[in-house]
Each structure stands twice: as C-alpha cells, then as structure tokens.
Chain A
Amino acid sequence: MSRLKSCLLLFLALFSASESIAKEEKVEELNEEFTEALLLRPLPDRKVLAHFHFRSSAPPSRMYGRHHHIFPKSIYQLVHKFKVREMELSFTQGRWNYERWGGFDPISSSNAKPPGVELWADFDVAQDQVDDSWKNLTHALSGLFCASINFLEHSTSYSAPQWSFRSFSGKLRYGTLPREAVCTENLTPWLKLLPCRDKAGISSLMDRPSIYRGNYHSQRLHLKSDEFDTSEMCNGIVLEQTLTVVLRPDTFSGQVLQPSWSLSSLFGRTVNGKCSLSSSSNVYVQFEHNLVSEGDKLRKDSEVSENEIFIHEGFQNNHLFELSLPPKRVIKEAGNLQKEGSILYEFSVDESNEFEPFDLGLSWKVPVVWSCPQAPLQASRFLLGSGNERGAIAISMKSTRSNIVERAGYDEKECWLRVGIFQMVPWYVKVYYHTLKLFLDGEPQSSTENIEKILVSPSEDKVSPGVMEVILRLPCSVNTAALTLEFDKGFLHIDEYPPDANQGFDIPSAVIHFADFVANTSFHDNFIKEVPILSRLQEEIPVVSYTEVLLVPLTTPDFSMPYNVITITCTVFALYFGSLLNALRRRVGEEERLLSGKVAKKAGPLTLMISKLSAKLRGKPWEPPKPPESGRPSTNYKLIAKIVLVAGVAAAWQFYFQ
C-alpha cells in the first residue's frame, strides 16, 4: 500500500514544478529520474559542438518493482534478459577531428567514436555463457535500433579485450561495424527511449536535416546497471543517451570574426519549454580554458588600466562575446596554478514556453584564435606497401607537446609516457605479429625495451579476429613514435565477399588510450553533483582516442566463374583419370588381336565377342557388330543383371537416407 502511495505521490510530483521534485527526491530515494541537458561549445575552426545529454535511471527492481513510468521498458528487459552490467553502443558518422576539436576533454574522450557502429558490453553471467549472451544481445539491439548490429554475432567480428577497456573481468566483448551507415532510422528508435521523445524539451531541437548536415554526428547509448549485485548500495539501472554533433553555423560574419550563432540558426528550431518529465533541463555554454585565457590576454592588452571586469563576471559587458540571454549561473572550473579553468554558463529552459521560446544566441565581438587541449600524442594509422599480396599497418603517434608539463614532478629523464593500443584486425588480414617494429623519432627500437605489456591473440581463419593489446612506454621527450606490423592479404571464398567487393575491406579503428592521463573538469561547487551532465564531466575517465578506419583492398576472384571453373577443372581431372587408366589397361598385343579379330570376325569366337561388348560398354565407338549368335543372350543377361544391381543399390541408398 505504501508503495502504491509513493508511486502516486511520484506521479503527482512529476507534474508539479521542478523545485518540488528536487525536494521530493531527497526524501524519496527510490525514484526514477530523467534529466536532459544540452552543452554548446564554440570550436576553434568556426564550428559549434552541441552535446545532448539525457539520463534516465531506474532504482533496483529488488526494492522498486518492475513497473516503470519513465524508464524505457525495452532497455529494462534487455538488462534483465542478458544480464548486462555495462554496455555502450554508438552510431557515428564522420570522424572526430582530434587536432581541431580537442582530444583531452571529457567530451572528446567519451564521445568521439569510430565511424559506424561500436558496441561493447560487459556481462554478469558465467564465463562460458558470455558469448551466447553477446550474440543474443546483438540481435536484440539490432531489432531495437534498426541497424545491422547482428553482424557482430559472428565470432570473426568481435573480440574479448583483456585490459584495454575498463573492465578486467574477461566478460567484456567488443565489436565494431565500420561500414554501417547511420541515419534517421537509427535516431528514431533512440529517441523513442526518451520519455518526451522529440516532442518537448531539449530534444525538440533535433531537426533531422540540420543534425545530419553536421560534420560529425555521434549518437551514443551508455547503460550501467548493478541490478545483479548483491550489495545494498545499488543504483539500479542508469541509461545515458548522448548525441554529439559538430555543426557549422550558417551565419555570415566575415573572415576574421568567429561566426555568431543561436539555437534557431543552428538547429532551425527553438526550445518551447522543458520536457515535463525531466527533473532538470539546462543548457550550458562552455568556453574552454584556452579561449578564456586568450580572452583575458586580449582584455589585458586593450584595457590595461581597467582590471575590474573579469571575464566570467559579466556576460553582458563581456569583452569577447555576448550571450543573448542572462545565464542562471556561471560555473568556473577549478583550474590549477598553470592554467585557467574553463567556464560554463548555465541556462534553464524551465521558464520558456510557446510564446517565449528559449533561443540562446552567441555573438562574437572580437576576433579570437585559440586551440583546444590536445591528447599527449596524436595518433593516425595508415597502410604501407602496394599490391594485393601483402602490406603493413603503421600507427604513427606525434607528440603534441601539451600536458606533459602538467604532470607532477617528473624530471625529463625519468619521465615516461604510457600509451595503450588496442587493435582488432579481421582474419582475412593476416597480421604477422613477429614483425612488430617500433620506431622512436625514426630510429628502430628493440621492442622489449619500450613495450611494457603485450597481449596478442592471433587471428584464426574464419573463426576469430586478430587482437593486439600493447602498452608502450615512451620517453616524454619523444617526438614521433611509429608502430608497424606486416600482414598478408587473405583470399576468401566468393560467398564471403560483400556485394561491393572491389571497394575493399574495413579494418576497425585502433583505440589509443593514455592510462596516466584523465580527462575531467573539476568544479568548485558542490551542487553540481545533482546535475548529471556536470557530474559526468567531472568523472575521471582516461584519455582515449580512435584512429582512422583503414580500407584494405583485397584481391577478388572472378565472381561469374563458378560453373566454368567447376566444369573445366573436373574435365581436366577426368582426362587425367581416364587416360592414365587407359594407358595402364592396355595389354600387349591387344591391338593386333583386335585387328585380327576384325579380319576373323566371321569366326566370331566367344571371347572376342565379350571383349568387343565390354569395349562398347566402356563407351568406345564401335561399329555395330554382326548379329552375334550365342554370345548375345549371355552378355545381355549380364547387362541386365548389372542394371538391376545398380538400380537396387540406388533404391537401397534412397531408402536408407529417408
């Protein structure tokens, strides 16, 4: 009864004002919750990053029951059916530009994904059932998201990384589909999981043409559940859906000035109020610390005397830019001594409605140039060699010379940079792992010195992909590091080629992770714990970047040839068999006997007749003999007996196999 009451209470509460919800939540621990947020960030190359963040959570069903008001039922069933502990599915189009858009912040580390579909899942089942669970999960997700995720079912397309991902349980499976095309048919089911879909709230900004027009588009679904843990401290299931798009504002603002934009110009839509089921719906505008310090510098240059205005103080009389709406709050990142933290402006969409739509705009006042924080090494991967027999994969990493200084008190000699590489290669690219070579600044190195840890599971033809996990230990002073691996190109059966075989085959992106670096934005204030997007930004996640997808052309056989090949080959072998047998069978003097038999046919000895008939049976062209007198019936008899025997065997065979 009390459960029912609380549910009712919750139901009512959800429709009341948001502040009351916040209070309600503090009292009632077991509540489903949904929050929405949008983070906008100007990027140095005149583009804008829009990061939608939706989070739904359901309390553990042990305490809460199975009925949910907000949390999507399909996801709940998925978690329970396949005992998923953690899962991440991303659909991506375009490639994240690490050089321009940054590679050292939480958003790039967790939302820059390889093109196509990437899925990893950690299961809470016995070790021998993990693969079955994975297969079932791929099929379920394939149905849920209208994508060919079920291709990941084959053991050739997924792998079990041991330590490259966060889980060390050995129950994690990872697979990617680099060639999967991502479009609205994948977005619509993803939106269905949101309580308001795209009808209200921030998600109503997702105008399909403007989203898919962007330079980068990544929709991601992250699922975390501790449903199956026995401990008391349970969070239940947390579903996090993010959509990260990099858009290019249309507005014309001259060559020097960064383009000004507003929500309506970016998306062609405005927000008309929040999603009423959401407990918080905020819009954030983030300015990176490089931009902030650049702004500071500009301000110092121009107004050396007036130093009373701080950049984060006023938004209206800011020197650098102007926001069209007053922020609800300004959150400053806790920067350390060297660097200034980034700044977040928080806006709430609660007050907006149809008549007063929320349309945030940003216009620049001064031309400004800045760069995004970079990962310590910038990785790219390419192919070496020509021809279709062999080649080599090279991963080259260029030092960006950033962030190394920040690391606490290492002197230059003792300083080591640990770089992890995870690479999965399909079996038809037969990598020779003994050819692994490491070059530092162009000099070949003995691999034992710089490889801290290596795990190789070589590919097995038509069974499993080749997986390599390496942790490299590079000196900090290194400028470039390169890793090369030679491979042979495999030859497939004609059925194994995709329809456009001559396009080539994709090798999934390699994952480069920097174990010693964490990308997080720490804030001073405590209240941000309540806002999921901000707590997400604060989480310490390792810096991860993905390399390009490689396109390997493979040799193709002639696809129109099977019948020709089968018939020609069989003919040649029949020729061999027949002629060799004929050569062996031929007796001494047979020819002479046959010749003499021709002459002395009238005599017609029985033996000659039999030999002639047997020659005829073997298919030799033999002119019709004279009507034989006595031999004919007996040989006919034999023939009939043979035919009956063969027919009998055939009938028995048929009978046996039915």
Chain B
Amino acid sequence: MEENSKTGMAEGYWLKQLSMSPYSGSMYHGSPLLLSILGPLTVKKIGGLSSDLLCSLVSVVADFISAILIRATGRSLVRAHLHNWKSLGLDKLIKHNEVVPSGDVAALVYLWNPFTIVSCIGFNTSPIENMFVIMSLYGASAGLVPLAAFGWVIASHLSLYPIVLVIPVIFLLGYGLDAPPRKLFVLNNLQIGEERSADHVELKSPSDKLSKTNFSWWRVIIFFLWASIWTSYVLILCAISMKEYGGLGAMFKRTYGFILAIEDLSPNIGVLWYFFAEVFDFFRNFFLIVFHVNILFMILPLAIRLNHRPCFLAFVYLAVSSMLKSYPSVGDSALYLSLLVLFVNELAEMQFTFFLFCGYVGISLLSPVMHNLWIWRGTGNANFYFATAMGYACFQIILVVESVSAMLNYDRKIRKLCNKV
C-alpha cells in the first residue's frame, strides 16, 4: 500500500552495495541521501534488534520530533490568536478559558492518530517527510529562517509536493503568524488613532500594530538565500552519491519522474492508480496534466484569499496535495489532520464535523477490509476497494472545502465584531 516501503529501500541499498544504481530495478524511488542514511538500518542488526524494529524506531523518533514541533507551533499560534484579539480590542468578548491549547491537542492527535501508527509500523518514509514539513512550518512561524529553508528544501527533495509550501512560508516570514485580515488592523488603528490622538498616552502600540501590516522583504530574501544554499548542498550531496550511476539526471528521472508519471499502478488509498490502470492510453498524458495542474490551479486563489493566515494556507495546501498526489499514503492524512487541529479555535463553527469524523472512521475500517478481500482472498473485486478510495477522496474534499469556508466565515465574524466595536 505504500510507495517507499522498507523492502524497496532494502532492495535499493542492496543494489547500491553491489555497486549498481539503486534505481535500477524500479523498486526504490526515494532520495539517494535517505538511502545512505537509512539504508544500513534495513540490513544491520544493532544490539539484537531486528531491522524491522529499528526502522519503526526511526519513524517513532521522527514522529515524536514532529509532535514537539507541532506543539511549539500551536503554542505560538494560540499566543498570536490572543494577541490579535487584544489588539483588535475584542479581548473583552472572550473569556480566557475558552481558548483551547490547540498545540497540545494537535501534538496528541498527531501522536495518537491511527494513521500515524500505521505508517510507523509499515515503515514508509512519510513520517520523515512529515517531520521536515513541520520543521519548515515551525521554523517559519518561530522566525528561524535557516531552519524553515532547510525543512522546506529537504521536504521538497524527498517528496516534491511540499514545494508549494514556499508560499505559506513566505507569508509566515513576511507577515508573521495567522491573524485576521490586515484591513481590520488598519481600520482599527485609524480608529484608535483618532480616539487617542488627543492624549498622547500610547504611542507605542499603533506603531507596533502597523508593523503587522508591513511585508518584511528582508526575511524573505534571507529565506531564499538560505534555501538556495541548502538546495545546492543537497544537490551536491546527491550528485556525489549518484556519480557512478548516471548523475543527477537519473535521480530526477527516477524520483520526480516516477511521481509525475504515475508509473506504479499498485493500489493505494488514492484514486489515481485505478484511474490510470483503466484510462485509455492515448488519454493518459492529458489526464496526467489535468490532475497535476489541479493542484497548481488552486494555489493562487487560496494564496490570495488566505494570505493573512499562512499556517492555515499550509494546511490547505497539504490537504489538497495529499488528496491529489500520485501515491498518497495514510501518513499524509495524519499530517494534515493534526494541522487541522491547530486551528480548533478558529474552526469551531465548522460544519459537518461529526459526519466527517464518522466518514474517516468508516473509511479507515472499510478500506483494509476491501483490500484484504480483493488482494488476499480474491473474493472481492477491485471496484469495492476503489469505492472506498473514492469515498475517502470525497471526505477529504468536504473537509478541505468546509474548513476553508469555516475559516472565511470566521474572518467575517471578526469583521462584524470589529464593526460593532
């Protein structure tokens, strides 16, 4: 069910040990760096631990780091939330205990999510990819530009799709953490300015608030500088490790080419494998373009509409790409579901949450059953499994659409409140 499973990595490592290209044999499609770091774990036994256990241990460690970073991000998000309400003068409206510590909840959700646990047991590389994605988000939200650049570069290197996260990261670095629309701040500042212009008591606060509306180009430039440094570093390392096996060209072809061309048609929880197993050959290229462009098409509208909420934008991008990516795995869902929990304060009025929850539970129970019936017992049919995959895609779509509209409604609510105040 997973793309970069442990066996594939072990095969790649074995081939590399025999001084053959790890990509010969269409078994391994990951990064050569990952192979040199994690490859030995697939063979060696350290301290009597079997290689399965070691690999799971690596996943657990990665997940744990991710959870800590999620928690840190969530805390700063909550702080920003309170700060924004205060600066908009709405702090009288909320009682303090109403704000859920979303970071803690999200970290717990990430750690205890059955999807995370499943992907740990199966050892695919998605926990590691998730860790780098979260690292990048954390770095950007905490203002650690090198860390953000590092996470972003490695995550995109490992699985290509996180490359779209460059937009939320830029917004995070430029504008800071999630906040209500900037127009409100401007209006509010003006109001406050009018009110308090007479008595020059508080000069500091308006200037502080005004800084929120400015885009700090300097940090973005530094981010790109760091990103280019990390990129060249990664590429040089890859070039060194791929020197004898066809160089970087071969690596790009076998990793990104494999992702973009959807060559592997073995069943996963997405819908594209069945689609491309069935589609007529002369339409194949057309649909490949359509599905990939579907991810890209949504980038711009989302960025325009949600530019004041970069973390939420990152969540939407991740959800969309995990829905439309070539080889989705449950690890991707684990990531975006825990990110969703980060916005539990903002998305309190989201619709269909119970329905979605039931849907996710139902799919995660039915899907293995259908897979087992079809593949192992031979009594089911491919369509049964495809139907669950289709249902899963629908639930993801509803989740994304509902969360986006809930967030926009929330902004509207804030605006109304501001107008009232």
Contact = CB atoms under 8 A, between A and B. Distances in A.
Interface of A: 386-389, 427, 430, 432-435, 456-462, 466, 486, 488, 490-495, 555-558, 561-562, 565-566, 568-569, 572-573, 575-577, 579-581, 583-586, 588
Interface stretch (B228-236, B362-370, B381-389): B381-389
Contact of A566 (B263, B278, B297): B278
Interface string B255-285: 0000000011111000101111111110100
B405 interface: yes
Contacts of A583: 401, 404-405, 408
B279 A461 contact: no
Nearest to B23: A460
A557 B266 contact: no
B263 A558 contact: no
B353 interface: no
Contacts of A562: 278-280
Contact of B401 (A387, A556, A579): A579
Interface string B18-34: 10100011110000000
Contact of B273 (A462, A491, A494, A586): A491
B311 interface: no
B85 interface: no
Contacts of A432: 7, 10-11, 27
Nearest to A389: B375
Contacts of B323: 576
Interface in B1-51: 7, 10-11, 13-15, 18, 20, 24-27
Given A580-B298, A588-B412, A572 B265 contact: no
14 contacts: A433-B25, A434-B10, A460-B25, A491-B266, A491-B267, A555-B374, A562-B278, A569-B390, A572-B390, A577-B298, A580-B298, A580-B400, A581-B298, A588-B415
B291 interface: yes
Nearest to A561: B278
Contacts of B197: none
A435 B25 CA distance: 14
Contact of B24 (A460, A486, A494, A586): A460
Contacts of B7: 432, 435, 486, 488
Nearest to A577: B294
Contacts of A434: 10-11, 13-15
Contacts of A460: 24-26
- Which of A460, A490, A584 has the most CB atoms of chain B within a 10 A radius of its CB? A584
Contact of A494 (B15, B267, B278, B405): B278
Interface string B158-201: 00000000000000000000000000000000000000000000
A561 B397 contact: no
Interface residues of B, number: 57
Given A488-B7, A555-B375, A579-B397, A493 B277 contact: yes
A458 B383 contact: no
A585 B408 CA distance: 10
A575 B397 contact: yes
Contacts of B382: 555-558, 561
Q: Considering the complex of A and B, which 6 residue pairs feature the smallest CB-CB distances, nearest first?
A: A458-B25, A434-B14, A387-B376, A583-B405, A461-B26, A576-B397
A457 B24 contact: yes
Contacts of A575: 394, 397
B78 to A, nearest CB: 25
Contacts of B18: 456
A581 B297 CA distance: 10
A568 B390 contact: yes
Given A460-B25, A490-B266, A557-B274, 12 more contacts: A388-B375, A433-B14, A434-B11, A461-B264, A555-B375, A557-B277, A557-B278, A557-B382, A565-B275, A565-B386, A569-B275, A584-B302
B250 interface: no
A576 B376 contact: no
A639 to B, nearest CB: 24
A444 B390 CA distance: 45
Given A490-B266, A577-B297, A565 B14 contact: no
B380 to A, nearest CB: 10
B277 A573 contact: no
Interface in B379-421: 381-383, 386, 390, 393-394, 397, 400-401, 404-405, 408, 412, 415
- Which of A493, A569, A575, A581 has the most CB atoms of chain B within a 10 A radius of its CB? A569
A432 B25 CA distance: 9
B287 to A, nearest CB: 8
Nearest to B398: A579
Interface string B80-120: 00000000000000000000000000000000000000000
Given A576-B400, A580-B298, A561 B383 contact: yes
Interface in B281-306: 281, 283, 291, 294, 297-298, 301-302, 305
A430 B401 contact: no
Contacts of A573: 291, 294, 324
A494 B277 contact: yes
B256 to A, nearest CB: 16
Contact of B275 (A566, A576, A584): A566
A621 to B, nearest CB: 21
A580 to B, nearest CB: 5
A370 B291 CA distance: 69
Contacts of B377: 387
A561 B381 CA distance: 12
B265 A427 contact: no
A558 B390 contact: no
Contacts of A488: 7, 266
B418 to A, nearest CB: 12
Contacts of B291: 573
B378 interface: yes
- Which of B297, B397, B412 has the most CB atoms of chain A within a 10 A radius of its CB? B397
Contact of A466 (B25, B302, B324): B25
A586 B27 contact: no
A480 B57 CA distance: 38
A494 to B, nearest CB: 6
Nearest to B402: A583
B26 A584 contact: no
B14 A572 contact: no
- Which of B271, B277, B305, B375 has the most CB atoms of chain A within a 10 A radius of its CB? B277
A493 B404 contact: no
B26 A458 contact: yes
B318 to A, nearest CB: 14
A480 B376 CA distance: 31
A423 to B, nearest CB: 15
A493 B271 contact: no
Contacts of B383: 558, 561
A387 B400 CA distance: 36
Nearest to A563: B278
Nearest to A588: B412
A459 B382 CA distance: 26
Nearest to B324: A573
B408 A586 contact: yes
